[in-house]
Amino acid sequence: MAQTAELVGRLEGIARIRRGGNRAQMVTAALVAGDGQLTNAGALAVTTGAHTGRSPKDKYIVRDELAAPHVWWDNTGAMAPAAFERLLEDMLDYARDRELYHEALGAGADPALHVAVDVITETAWHALFIRNLLRPRLPQPAMQATILQLPGFVADPARHGTRSGTVIALDMSRNIVLIGGSAYAGEIKKSVFSLINFHAPLRGVLPMHCSANVGADGGTALFFGLSGTGKTTLSSDPDRPLIGDDEHLWSAAGVANIEGGCYAKTARLSVEAEPEIHAASQSFGTVLENVVIRDGEPDFDDLTPTENTRAAYPLQTLGAVVPAGTGPTPRAVVFLTADAFGVLPPVARLDREQAIRLFLLGYTAKVAGTERGVTEPTATFSACFGAPFMSHHPHVYGDLLAERLDASGAKVWLINTGWIGGAYGAGRRIDIAATRRLVAAALSGELDGAAMRTDPVFGFAVPLAVEGLPKRLLDPRASWADAAAYDAAAQRLARMFAEAARKLERRPVATAAE
């Protein structure tokens, strides 16, 4: 902790540091600096420049004695300790005499793993962003971290060992993160998660890239899913208060939210399908990233700047939340996928081995709808539903999930929010109302004693009927006009699963720093 405090002290000695201030003052500071525009409802709309998403190829972890034997080096770049020191000193030189913003925040609702996070940024809107997303600091944190984010600083590949002028470098021994060359605020948020993803497993705690909510009966449910699968949408349920939107810890004590806010995708956001998120995205002090504003109103359908438009707002902006950010041991785990091949069932129950396998794969499928002439689905695999943030090998997290499932007895469900009746371009996307009904049936226990069939290709247990839905919906093969074409597509996806699994086989890791 002394080393991160020392870094904050050094910055205080060379730069003009602005601390705190209420949200109105931070919005005003951003507007005065010309870094955004105010919507009619009071949200702050900003643009992030060349980077409209994360830069995973520009992320590095310092390869020292602590990190070397644990980090999944196939998944992240390694930075020599000396290069990190040069980068740190050069960023401090850049910061000299500049006006910077300091936010003293916290991450982790569980006091046993709470991290005191000092975020020092170059702009008021980045400070507002991270304040919206993190939690108040607890008085006795388990760890301390410092994040220095300077979008105007450009790294030197020859001097700093980077790939480009953009850099996200993490020193796990000192819990220092350096971000330069990118104004995309999601880098700050995910750097906190990456730090916790390294330290939590070493303490026997499972960090998860998932949302969580709790029912009236006290049953906690987890929702895993990659972008576009409906994780935020389906977990934001007025009848099930939200524990957290995106990042959680699962320990023997239960579930704890890491953040205190939501970072929701706003592409094609509608008040009819997602009323809670739509309202939160237009609240005062919400930060809208790369959202087109017309006459003071956000146009969520205009994706000219990027498909990755976002809204960052505190959890309390939503109506139904768990203020403490904690919940009891989960009773249900939901894996969400948007299968654009149109072959996975809309709902299936997974046994223990199937659950661990799909967790390690982290599958969804995407369509290149923005590229002219490209209509074929593309399989996407992101280990543990969050590979870019996984510091350890996926099997470390898979083993922890297996332990938690065994101890809790939680049921695991696969929910396909993708296509039915054919692949993308031929079939149709499963209606959100039908998906909500399937999720409700799974979480309520309605399907626990339901008659099931075994999917002949994937082996999943698939309900034969769900009240209120047509039986044909539950059998993807029956919904295809050509059963033979379905069989070929299903076998093709099964081969993709097998190939992806082979790439994630356990490997020995380094035992010393290089």
Which is nearest to 469 in space by CA: 509, 502, 440, 426?
Answer: 440
- Catalytic hit among 48, 51, 52, 54: 54
Which residues partner with 416 through β-bridges?
Answer: 337
Which sign does the torsion angle of CA 272, 275, 277, 278 carry? positive
Interacting residues of 232 by C-beta distance below 8 A, sequence separation 6+:
211, 245, 246, 262, 264, 265, 277
- Catalytic hit among 51, 131, 189, 209: 209
Residues 268, 390: Cα–Cα separation, whole Å: 29
| Contact present, 332 and 438 (Cβ < 8 Å) | no
Helix, strand, coil shares, percent, the chain, to 5: 30, 25, 40
Our answer to whether residue 54 is catalytic in this structure is yes
- Catalytic hit among 232, 236, 317, 391: 232
Strand 220-224 relative to strand 210-214, pairing? antiparallel
State the DSSP string of 340-362.
TTS-S-SEEEE-HHHHHHHHHH-
Residues in the chain: 514
- Catalytic hit among 199, 231, 395, 404: 231
Residues 71, 73: Cα–Cα separation, whole Å: 6
Our answer to whether residue 246 is catalytic in this structure is yes
Which sign does the torsion angle of CA 425, 431, 435, 436 carry? positive
Angle made by CA atoms 341, 346, 347, in degrees to the nearest 5: 135
Which is nearest to 348 in space by CA: 255, 441, 279?
Answer: 441
Our answer to whether residue 310 is catalytic in this structure is yes
Q: Which amino acid is at 266?
A: T
Residues 407, 175: Cα–Cα separation, whole Å: 31
- Catalytic hit among 246, 286, 337, 411: 246
Task: Give the pair of three-digit tokens for residue 209.
Answer: 């890239």
- Catalytic hit among 47, 227, 375, 380: 227
Distance linking the first and last C-alpha atoms of the chain: 25
Task: Give the pair of three-digit tokens for residue 348.
Answer: 């299936």
Residues 285, 308: Cα–Cα separation, whole Å: 20
- Catalytic hit among 310, 349, 395, 411: 310
State the DSSP string of 394-428.
HHHHHHHHHHHHHHH--EEEEEE-SEESSSTTTSE
Our answer to whether residue 227 is catalytic in this structure is yes
Which is nearest to 329 in space by CA: 243, 439, 440, 251?
Answer: 251
| Contact present, 204 and 398 (Cβ < 8 Å) | no
- Catalytic hit among 59, 102, 126, 190: 190
Which residues partner with 59 through β-bridges?
Answer: 168
Annotated active-site positions, please? 54, 190, 209, 227, 231-232, 246, 310
